[in-house]
């Protein structure tokens, strides 16, 4: 089995590399080690062009809750155009660009999987608290992007699986200061959960939005 992890230097990304190494060959790419800036298509194209062969699994583990010191908004008055644009660039457009350039790496004659980190707060139907406008909107956008991509990809790769995955609250730098009241799990536990769930998604379910237990999340 060959796996490709985008965002391999992050908490969940590094744990995914570690767990996937037990299954076979793993290629890990990150901004820190490889100069892969998912907010810059030129960077994505250049780095991804250097990857060859076919992969059974591609996992996009990039993302951030705070960007440039901007914390999640608690009210409309806290929204700024720059902070919102930065959230969309990293958490929605970035994964879209990676998937765009990763499709050529998937085999067409057998099952292959693309998992993308999302978040429950990206659910429109399961939003009872409000706030966090930019992060919520960016995650909702990436869910729509991956769901839409799954429809197109199925035409050329009928056995492919694309899925948006909520990892739960994980002990990483991303969640530091935001975990009060939520059960937490280590990056290694999260990685095992995410891979187990992704393994269980069938091509007929491609484009789904599920949590770390494999339970569907409302759009």
pLDDT in tens, 114-147: 999 999 999 999 999 999 999 999 999 999 999 9
Longest dimension (CA), the chain: 51
Helices (H), ranges, the chain: 11-20, 31-34, 41-49, 81-88, 94-102, 133-156, 187-200
Whole-angstrom distance, CA of residue 194 vs CA of residue 197:
5
Residue 23: pLDDT over 80: yes
Instruction: Check pLDDT > 70 for residue 180.
Output: no
CA distance 92 to 77: 23
The pLDDT value given to residue 147: 98
When the pLDDT of each residue in the chain is averaged and rounded to a whole number, the result is 95
In angstroms, the CA 128 to CA 150 distance is: 28
Tell me which H or E stretch contains 26: strand 25-29
- The count of other CB atoms within 10 Å of the CB of residue 4 is 27
Domain 2-211 class, CATH top level: alpha beta
């Amino acid at each position: 089995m060959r796996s490709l992890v985008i965002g391999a230097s992050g908490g969940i990304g590094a744990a995914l590399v570690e767990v996937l190494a037990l299954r076979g060959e793993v290629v890990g790419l990150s901004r820190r080690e490889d100069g892969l800036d998912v907010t810059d298509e030129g960077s994505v194209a250049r780095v991804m062009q250097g990857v060859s062969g076919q992969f059974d699994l591609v996992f996009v583990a990039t993302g951030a809750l705070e960007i440039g010191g901007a914390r999640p908004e608690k009210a409309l008055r806290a929204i700024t155009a720059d902070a919102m644009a930065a959230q969309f660039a990293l958490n929605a457009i970035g994964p879209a660009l990676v998937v765009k350039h990763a499709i050529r790496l998937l085999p067409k004659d057998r099952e292959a999987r693309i998992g993308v980190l999302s978040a429950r707060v990206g659910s429109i139907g399961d939003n009872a608290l409000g706030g966090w406008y930019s992060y919520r909107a960016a995650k909702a956008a990436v869910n729509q992007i991956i769901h839409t991509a799954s429809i197109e990809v199925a035409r050329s790769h009928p056995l492919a699986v694309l899925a948006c995955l909520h990892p739960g609250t994980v002990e990483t730098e991303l969640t530091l200061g935001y975990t009060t009241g939520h059960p937490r799990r280590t990056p290694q536990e999260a990685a095992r959960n995410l891979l187990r769930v992704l393994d269980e998604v069938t091509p007929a379910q491609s484009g789904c939005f599920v949590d770390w237990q494999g339970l569907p999340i409302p759009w």
